[in-house]
Structure formats: C-alpha cells, structure tokens
C-alpha cells in the first residue's frame, strides 16, 4: 500500500498543463524498472481527479492508457486527450508517428516534465 501511495504522491506533483511518463514516475519513487507497476496502480487510481493520472503518458509520447483503456478510438482515451488539451498540454501535430494502437497523438516535448521537477519525499 505504501508503494501505491508514493506513486500517487509523485503523480500529484505533475503541474497542470504538463505531463510525465510512467518511467519517470518509477524513477521518482526510486524504482526505475517499475514503470508497469506505476501504470497498474494509476489504472486503479481511487483518488482521481485529485491525483491526476491522466497527466501520465507513455515514453514514446503517446497517450498511454486511461482507466485501463489504450485504444485511442474509445471514448475514455478521447476523454484523456480532451482533458490534456483543456489543461494546456501541447501536442506535436507535425510528427507523423503511428503507435501500437494506431493513434498519432504525440505530446510535444515542451509539455513533458522530468524527474528533477517531481520531488517526492521517499519513506
């Protein structure tokens, strides 16, 4: 349980209008290889929207998942995309990438925060 709370605490540090990756959150909590575990706990986030799990994306700058969904054509993923735009996250529409699930929504590098911006007291 403490590990999950640490992940949520780290996620709360992501400022509005910015995103970070599952991998960066794993690094912040001191478990650099636990990015899948970070994703799993955010999938079950009981503290949304206070813990803004929608601000966490995949390392390839695609949207990743949202409430367990990864297909960009599904309403939940469209909601994640809309939430990020509403908060001021910028997308790079010049990059023509196709990701695993067929989306080409790529978050602009200027909207991504790194581990040094997300300091969490480790217990």
Active-site residues, by number, are: 53
Q: Which phi and psi (to 5°) does residue 112 adopt? A: -100, 130
∠47-50-100 over CA atoms, to 5°? Answer: 75
Copy the structure tokens of residue 2: 């403490």
Q: Residue 3: helix, strand or coil by DSSP? A: helix
Task: List Cα–Cα distances, 123 to 29, 31, 80, in angstroms.
Answer: 10, 13, 31
Q: Cβ of 94: how many Cβ atoms within 10 Å?
A: 7
């Amino acid at each position: 349980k403490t590990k999950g709370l640490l992940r949520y605490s780290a996620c709360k540090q992501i400022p509005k209008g910015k995103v970070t990756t599952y991998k960066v959150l794993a690094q912040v909590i001191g478990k650099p290889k636990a990015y899948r575990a970070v994703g799993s706990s955010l999938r079950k986030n009981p503290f949304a929207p206070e813990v803004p799990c929608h601000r966490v994306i995949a390392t390839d700058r695609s949207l990743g998942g949202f409430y367990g969904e990864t297909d960009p054509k599904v309403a939940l993923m469209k909601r994640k995309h809309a939430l990020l735009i509403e908060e001021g996250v910028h997308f790079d529409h010049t990059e023509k990438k196709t990701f695993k699930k067929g989306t080409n929504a790529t978050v602009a590098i200027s909207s991504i925060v790194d581990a040094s911006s997300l300091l969490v007291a480790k217990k």
